[in-house]
Amino acid sequence: MSYSSIYAASVADPAAFWMEAAQLINWEQAPTRAGDAQPDGIWTWFPDGRLNTCHNAVDRHIAAGRGERTALIHDSAMTGRVTRYTYADIQREVAQVAGMIRAQGVDLGDRVIIYMPMVPEAVFAMLACARIGAVHSVVFGGFASHELAKRIDDAEPKLVLTASCGLEPGRTVAYKPLLDAAIALATHKVLYTVVLQRPELTASLEAGRDIEWSEACAAAEPADCVPVSSDHPLYILYTSGTTGIAKGVVHDNGGHAVAMAWSVPNIYGVGTDEVFWAGSDIGWAVGHSYIVYGPLIHGCTSVMYEGKPVGTPDAGAFWRVIRDHEVDVFFTAPTAIRAVKREDPEGLLLAEKGSGRLRALYLAGERADPDTLAWAETMLGVPVIDHWWQTELGWPALGTCIGLSDTRTRHGSAGRPIPGYSFAILDSEDKELAAGEIGDIVLSLPLPPGCFPTLWQRHAHFQDAYLSQHPGFYTTGDAGMVDDDGFVHVMSRIDDIINVAGHRLSTGAIEQIVSAHPAVAECAVIGANDVIKGMIPIGFIVLKAGVQVSDDEVSREVVARVRDELGPVAAFKSVHVVKALPKTRSGKTLRATIRAIANGEAVATPATIEDPAALEHIYQSVAETSKVEG
Ligand code: COA
Ligand code: AMP
């Protein structure tokens, strides 16, 4: 069946479509109906089904005689080590970690925070939580103590799992002191932490609270899979929201497992005897869905890579991994391809290493600019496919499904709707716009299985943030248009979210940290264009009258604060000290105007501006590049 007929079937009768897809997974108790509608239009998928996600990702493959099939290849460009795990190996490891977690008092529904680098034990930990019905929340290693503390307070974990260190080019990131600081900052009391000691750095452990991973695992009784109801939460993943408070996006077990099992073969076209590599981090949605759950539930081989696209050791790193592990389909962010292109524009390292059996490259996380797409297509000679999704959705909503023999792509567009998703472009009055007209990108309710049913502990905020703007629809937060052929073009955000190297950040959250500096009277943080990272945050600050510090000193301190509080992932390195910020007569900071000036665009003086001289300050400051490199 073609993409078009499958798409049509998915939207004509979603219940029938997803009940059939539900057969892709093993249920302890098969669902008798597809969904129950909630009053807000969100569905509980497969409400009377019971299953275990870890069983579906691990044990069932062994039961099917595929235990010796490679499940996970861990390739660390940082240590030079490659480790392969079969499904049987994973089952042993995960059962042991699950027993170890349970021995610390973690039970069904309890939360476990996983603050770990890209090591296989982090995957075992996620699956171990799923095995016993605990709810994991992975926190990306590039977030600092304050952000971790916020997540500890929101998720209220019984246990935190960590490692002694992460390995970044040129530095060893000691995770344990960052966790200790977060625990000290958090109001919620963390009773136990389990620390994986890596050979590169030994963390000091606090008696009575910190437990050594390998000893605790060795002492544990292996744990079996505990079936849970379909709507039982599998994980919480925090993502940037407009208020500066991270949103705890919840994904359930049943709908999620079905979406994972359906998407790997049907979108990416990966067979169970093939190798899929998502070049992301387990701290992001891509890592959850396409390093861990998607490939393993499907039963193929997943590659987990600790390293960078460039500098570890060079821009040939991707091609080495693809060749060495016979990767069939690769998924990364456009920023990574831009970094490779800059270092190796002629593709000499690619020619040297080859691209093995690579069949397709999927890109997501930010808009794939046509130059980067065209370069990758020419160099690799395989389809390069932009596709679009969000942490909230958990799996792609726009793209080209090579698994459904769809090959149509259009540069500048993230593709056509994936089966299960129904798009509309609306204006502020909820009127549907015609092809070519730009408006809010929304999705019809109910969202398909796998998408978030709520925000952790904040259902009212969930309704307010996503369902209230356009009644009957989920508001994505992106703006764009549909063209005459049904391709959706994602153009920009309608809020303060920016995309830095494929990472989603809120400028409002950065502004909160900057404005808390005692010398800062007011500030604006905007996302300026960057040739590699897509966007980078830049701060404009006005000092309080009479402060006795130099501009450079304040700028350095502000940069350090953002790094210390939010984390290095923010890539916040540029601050301009200006005399005033341009504002409207009603006192609203003209952020779009500041952004345009920072990007070197010609800007007409807004009619509503209160003090045109403030614009001059911005122009001058940008021109003088009174920039402080942090
Ligand atoms: N633990 C601790 N620190 C981390 C970290 C982790 N897990 N991951 C990143 N960081 C740090 C980096 O060391 C860097 O710190 P620095 O300012 O001291 O250099 C900072 O956070 C920013 O990291 P990152 O966003 O990875 O950028 P980078 O400058 O190291 O290089 C590129 C990134 C440009 C090579 C980019 O192409 C890339 O690969 N980005 C990641 C793409 C991605 O995975 N997106 C996820 C969605 S698919
Ligand atoms: P995240 O939740 O971190 O995955 O970020 C989701 C946001 O990233 C989306 O709402 C978009 O703003 C942006 N995004 C992701 N993929 C794409 C894409 N292919 N094209 C344009 N924007 C994208």
336 pocket-lining for ligand 1 (C-beta < 6 Å): yes
Structure token pair of residue 60 = 């069932």
Counting atoms of ligand 1 from 1, which one is nearest the CA of 166? 1
Cα 288 to averaged position of ligand 2 atoms, centre (Å):
16
Structure token pair of residue 487 = 């391709």
What are the boundaries of each domain within the chain?
3-307+387-421, 501-623
Residues 44-92 pLDDT 10s: 999 999 999 999 999 999 999 999 999 999 999 999 999 999 999 999 9
Residue 627 has pLDDT above 60, yes or no: no
Determine the average pLDDT of the residues in 500-518: 94
Counting atoms of ligand 2 from 1, which one is nearest the CA of 363? 19
Residues 158-179 pLDDT 10s: 999 999 999 999 999 999 999 9
How many other C-beta atoms lie within 10 A of the C-beta of residue 374? 12
Q: What is the pLDDT of residue 416?
A: 98
478 pocket-lining for ligand 2 (C-beta < 6 Å): yes
Q: What is the Cα–Cα distance from 591 to 602, expressed in whole angstroms?
A: 15
574 pocket-lining for ligand 2 (C-beta < 6 Å): no
- Displacement of CA 387 from its chain's centroid (Å): 14
443 pocket-lining for ligand 2 (C-beta < 6 Å): no
Cα 366 to averaged position of ligand 2 atoms, centre (Å):
5
Counting atoms of ligand 1 from 1, which one is nearest the CA of 573? 17
Which of these, 344, 337, 326, lies nearest to 279 by C-alpha position? 337
**pLDDT level of residue 37 (50, 70, 90 thresholds):** confident
CA dihedral (312, 314, 316, 320) in degrees, to 10, reads -30
Cα 182 to averaged position of ligand 1 atoms, centre (Å):
21
Q: Nearest ligand, CA of residue 478?
A: 2
What percent of the chain lies above the pLDDT cut of 70? Answer: 99
Cα 331 to averaged position of ligand 2 atoms, centre (Å):
14
Which of these, 84, 23, 53, lies nearest to 296 by C-alpha position? 53
Residue of 335, 344, 369, 387 to mutate, ligand 1, most atoms within 8 A of C-beta? 335
The region of weakest confidence among 210-214, 344-348, 394-398, 620-624 is 620-624
397 pocket-lining for ligand 2 (C-beta < 6 Å): no
Structure token pair of residue 308 = 């960078």
364 pocket-lining for ligand 2 (C-beta < 6 Å): yes
Cα 504 to averaged position of ligand 1 atoms, centre (Å):
12
**pLDDT level of residue 1 (50, 70, 90 thresholds):** confident
Q: What is the Cα–Cα distance from 61 to 139, expressed in whole angstroms?
A: 29
Asked if residue 558 lies in contact with residue 584, where contact means CB atoms within 8 angstroms, the answer is no
Q: What is the pTM of this model?
A: 0.95
Residue of 569, 572, 573 to mutate, ligand 1, most atoms within 8 A of C-beta? 569
User: Quick one: residue 536, left, alpha or beta (phi over 0 = left, psi -120 to 50 = alpha)?
Assistant: beta
Q: What is the mean pLDDT of the chain?
A: 95
Beta bridge partners of 156: none
Q: What is the pLDDT of residue 630?
A: 41
Query: If you write DSSP's letter for every residue of 405-447 in order, what string do you get?
Result: T-----TTS-BEEPTT--EEEE-TTSPBPPTT--EEEEEESSP
Q: Nearest ligand, CA of residue 475?
A: 2
Q: What is the Cα–Cα distance from 285 to 539, expressed in whole angstroms?
A: 28
Q: What is the pLDDT of residue 22?
A: 98
Cα 306 to averaged position of ligand 1 atoms, centre (Å):
11
The CA angle 572-575-581, to the nearest 5 degrees, is 125
Residue type, 385: I
The phi, psi pair for 44, rounded to 5°, reads: -95, 115
Q: What is the pLDDT of residue 602?
A: 81
Residue of 367, 369, 416, 451 to mutate, ligand 2, most atoms within 8 A of C-beta? 367
Residue 189 has pLDDT above 60, yes or no: yes
Q: What is the Cα–Cα distance from 34 to 44, expressed in whole angstroms?
A: 8
**pLDDT level of residue 628 (50, 70, 90 thresholds):** very low
Determine the average pLDDT of the residues in 487-509: 93
Q: What is the pLDDT of residue 626?
A: 43
Q: What is the pLDDT of residue 604?
A: 86
Residues 569-590 pLDDT 10s: 999 999 999 999 999 998 999 9
Cα 533 to averaged position of ligand 1 atoms, centre (Å):
10
Residue 366 has pLDDT above 80, yes or no: yes
Q: What is the Cα–Cα distance from 532 to 339, expressed in whole angstroms?
A: 6
Residues 427-461 pLDDT 10s: 999 999 999 999 999 999 999 999 999 999 999 99
Q: Which CATH class is domain 3-307+387-421?
A: alpha beta
Query: If you write DSSP's letter for every residue of 116-183 in order, what string do you get?
Result: --S-HHHHHHHHHHHHHT-EEEE--TTS-HHHHHHHHHHH--SEEEEESEEEETTEEEEHHHHHHHHH
**pLDDT level of residue 629 (50, 70, 90 thresholds):** very low
Determine the average pLDDT of the residues in 236-242: 88
Residue ID of nearest Cα to ligand 2 atom 13: 366
285 pocket-lining for ligand 2 (C-beta < 6 Å): yes
Residue ID of nearest Cα to ligand 1 atom 37: 336
Determine the average pLDDT of the residues in 238-267: 92
Q: Does domain 501-623 have CATH number 3.30.300.30?
A: yes
Asked if residue 560 lies in contact with residue 570, where contact means CB atoms within 8 angstroms, the answer is no
Q: Nearest ligand, CA of residue 505?
A: 2
Q: What is the pLDDT of residue 243?
A: 63
Q: What is the Cα–Cα distance from 366 to 588, expressed in whole angstroms?
A: 28
Cα 142 to averaged position of ligand 1 atoms, centre (Å):
7
Residue recorded with tokens 């030994």: 202
Residue 598 has pLDDT above 60, yes or no: yes
477 pocket-lining for ligand 2 (C-beta < 6 Å): yes
Counting atoms of ligand 2 from 1, which one is nearest the CA of 391? 2
Determine the average pLDDT of the residues in 180-184: 97
Determine the average pLDDT of the residues in 205-229: 97
Cα 580 to averaged position of ligand 2 atoms, centre (Å):
33
Q: What is the pLDDT of residue 244?
A: 64
